[in-house]
Structure 1
Amino acid sequence: MSIFLHILWNNVLPLSVMIAAGIILQRAFSLDIKTLSKLNFYLFSPALMFRLLYETPISLDIFGTVMLFALIFMLLQYGAVEIVIRLKGYDGGMRGAMRNSVLFYNSANYGIPLNQLAFAGNPYTLSIQVLIMMLQSLIPNTYGIYSVNAHKADWRAIRRVILSMPIIYVIPLAFVMRWLEVPVPEFIYTPINYTADAFIGTALITLGVQLGSMSWRISGRLAYDVGLSALLRLVGGPVIAWGLTLILGIDGLTAAALIVSSAVPTSLSSVLLAVEFDNEKEFASQAVFVSTLASIITVTFVIFLLNIQI
């Protein structure tokens, strides 16, 4: 019960309050969600990614282990969701929306606090979560953009959009500057900190604005699709991660951190992509909302099975 209350009070309820604020603001003022999504993609997310990679100590050994795990994990998840897509006969933008709702998970504003809570602020497990967050920032800004546009745009247009995303340049820059121990001038780093701190709030409000702008009458088909997405993300994710750690011989804190990182709900990136590129916005928003609510139970159960002491 104490684990449940900790996660509910420190992770889920704060997220829910911010989402509710976005819903209220949208109903009151009809905000421009396109502007909000651009702020997240081009400003707040890159700033947060740079700060985390620049400040967090990451060894080469753990870097290699996490990268190998994450690559195979992504492929296995892709295979699982592709089976569902084929069986359900999805077409057009729904194929990309379903993939994104499962493959992209909330490793930042849910995963980072959850890691800090579950592992009592352990810097080793935090470095694992930061690497996962790095990939979960990079992939939506590359493959994710391709996925939601592949059915309606040519490759040249998609490539131009991908190359315009700051995150693909911020990640190598942060690594190089940390490796070479290049100091960031205070007059630059202070604005980076201000901007990074704004990411979580703005992303959650964006989700709330999207939820506030759509109809709350959910068709039976859409409810079923959202349920499938949540099942693949919240149950399939940690089950695949657990099996993969056994196959790769990863154990101890490393395995626990990787499994916990895989158990978090659908990423806000799937909503931001859906809004930015006008692709299944209602499904994407509801997938994030439902998986976040359901994660109260599923994440608690994963931590309980791992016997992590909080």
Structure 2
Amino acid sequence: MMQSVIATLLQVIVPLSIPVIVGALLARYKNLETKPLLTLYLYFLSPAIIFETLTTAQLSFDEVYKTFVFSLLNLVVLWAAANGLGRLLRLPATETAGLTLVSTFTNSVNYGLPLVLLAFGKLGLDKASVYVIAQMVIVNTVGVYFAARSQFSIRGAVKSVFSLPAIYAALTAMLLRALDMHFPAGVEKGIAMISQAYSPVVLAILGAQMASVKKSDFDRSIQTAFWSGMSVRLLLSPLLACLVLYVLQVQGTLFSVLLILASMPAAVNAGILAERFNASPHMVTKCILWTTLASFIVLPVLIAIVK
């Protein structure tokens, strides 16, 4: 077991940590701006890797169906756990909203995809692609609702989903597969080349975002929400994901990939939503930082277990 964990650290976590560290150093000493990089990621790299993966993925209808069902069921279970903790601990509404965001949304896109690719290869990436698409839709609909129920608009949520280029890339890829068609070889080669730049760039962005988190003193309720969020994301979420996967009778590589993606640290998007709707943003960003750091220890253990 220990040998497997150490092997995972050396073969998966160390390669992932290099661009993260470089991004953090550039942000700290060269004032790296993440906003233009986020634009590059959102409108260039993300659509490319989603399209390239979905057009070449070896997936069955049963796997796609179970992945979407798992995404929804796992969301409901984590939401119930976060809200239950909020009521039990008598947290204010803003801290409960922040705790819900930290508990339910994982960094499956700019950390999960590179991790799965290194840990499980192309087969794992194929199976992860459907989950990532589901998460993009959920974060931009249900995530907005969790962050600001009073400001939630179905029309606005739908509009935010269809403002994501990755959604159109996914729809195009699925249409081409359904019609058994392909883009010209040169176009597909160009898209594949762009997708290869995805991992190092988004991991550098993650490092820069982590370096920008500022130390701050919290009052008691925010501290309670912070430790609750850490506990749910690092300890409870893998157990609940296992339970949901067992109920759905998911097995094999799909089980391993979905469990790892569901156990990822808190999503960067959670911090964006918390900031926008005042859902305890300082607590949420601190959770993002510390769950990401802790994941360098927790995830190798999980990967060693499921592999």
Cα distance in 1 for residues equivalent to 2:212 and 2:241: 35
- Distance in 1 (alpha carbons) for counterparts of 2:275 and 2:204: 13
Count of aligned positions: 304
Matches within 5 A, 1:103-252: 103-116=104-117, 118-119=119-120, 121=121, 123=123, 125-148=124-147, 150=149, 157=156, 159-219=158-218, 221=220, 222=222, 224-252=224-252
Aligned equivalents of 1:139, 1:181: Cα separation in 2: 29
TM-score (norm 2): 0.81
Distance 2:190 2:98 in 1: 34
Cα deviation for residue 48 of structure 1 reads 1.8
Q: Which position in structure 2 is the counterpart of 1:53? A: 54
Is 1:6 the equivalent of 2:2? Answer: no
Structure 2 Cα separation of the partners of residues 299 and 284 of structure 1: 20
Any residues of structure 2 matched to 1:55-74 within 5 Å, and which? 55-74=56-75
Question: Shift of residue 27 of structure 1?
Answer: 2.9
Cα gap change, 1:114 to 1:20, in 2 (>3 Å) = closer
Q: Which moved more, 1:143-152 or 1:225-234?
A: 143-152
Name the counterpart of 2:93: 91
2:266 maps to a residue whose letter is: T
Q: Deviations over 1:212-247 (max 9, x none)?
A: 334234536555433322321222222112222333
Distance 1:85 1:194, change over 3 A: farther
Provide the C-alpha distance between the structure 2 equivalents of 1:195 and 1:142, rounded to a whole number of angstroms: 28
- CA distance in 2 between partners of 1:90 and 1:41 (Å): 33
Deviates more, 1:62-71 or 1:211-220: 211-220
1:208–1:181 Cα change, 3 Å: same
How many angstroms does 1:58 deviate by?
Answer: 1.0
Checking the alignment, whether the CA contact within 8 Å between 2:144 and 2:152 is kept in structure 1 is no
Q: 2:55·2:173 contact (CA, 8 Å) conserved in 1? A: yes
Contact 1:210/1:285 (<8 A) preserved: no
One-letter code of the match for 1:89?
Answer: L
From the superposition, tell whether residues 141 and 170 of structure 1 become closer, same or farther in structure 2 (CA, over 3 Å): farther
Quote the residue 1:295 is aligned against: 295
CA contact (8 A) 2:140 2:160 kept: no
1:277 CA drift (Å): 7.7
Unaligned 5+ runs, structure 1: none
